[in-house]
Amino acid sequence: MLAMLRSRCRMLMTYLHVGIVILSSLLVCTSPWIMMLRRVPDNAGLWDYLHVYLGLACTGLGILFLINNCLQSKWRQYFGWLVGDGMQLKQDIVGLVKGKFPIAGGKGLFSAIEGIGMLLLVATGLSGLIWLLFQGTATAIEWRGYHQLFAQAFIGFLVVHLLLAISHIIDFIRQ
């Protein structure tokens, strides 16, 4: 029974990244049609409810993704620079200034950017969840502002992440 549970957890973690990509893409693409300020409107449409429920699902997946990527000291790959383990990150930045493209993996620039992206995903989701919990109050408007700020930063991360993924694929093909 325990072996089957572990197997299913491993399978879930394999598809976690794909699920987050799909959900966050839907949320970002449909967000211009969302008009919620203080609360979910009484006449809320499909896009409003879809945004709320997909956002809740994406928040849960984002938290699982962050936890999974931080287990067994893997957090050092993404956040090692926070505790003084930033030598590869520094080398990547210096190399980038000199025109040398950083390699993917390890504790370098790509991993640091991925770590920041995971934090932005969770912050976007949690700020939206807090907005939902406080809807109908003045606090909700404040959390809506935080949610929008984190969402815009996350969209910026997605653009950078996509460019880095494309460059990684190009680098892989060259070799």
pLDDT of residue 8: 81
Computed over its alpha carbons, how large is the radius of gyration of the chain?
19
CA 120 to chain centre: 5
Q: In terms of residue numbers, what domain contains 38? A: 2-174
Distance CA 45, CA 60 (A): 23
Structure tokens at 103: 């390699």
144: amino acid identity, one letter: R
Helix (H, G, I), strand (E, B), or coil: what is residue 40?
Answer: coil
> Is the pTM above the cut of 0.75?
yes
Q: Tell me which residue of 36, 38, 17, 14 sits closest to 138, measured CA to CA.
A: 38
Other Cβ atoms within 10 Å of 41 Cβ, number = 11
What is the pLDDT tens value at each position of the chain, 175 positions in all? Answer: 778 877 887 777 778 988 999 999 999 998 888 878 778 888 888 888 999 999 999 999 999 999 988 887 788 889 888 888 888 888 888 888 888 878 777 888 889 999 999 999 999 999 999 999 999 898 999 999 999 999 999 999 999 999 888 887 887 787 7
Long-range contacts for 61-64 (Cβ within 8 Å, ≥24 apart)? 61/16, 61/19, 61/20, 61/23, 62/20, 62/118, 62/121, 62/122, 62/124, 62/125, 63/122, 63/125, 64/12, 64/13, 64/16
- Find the DSSP H helices in 31-137: 46-70, 75-79, 87-97, 109-133
When divided into structural domains, the chain yields a total of 1
Distance CA 55, CA 162 (A): 21
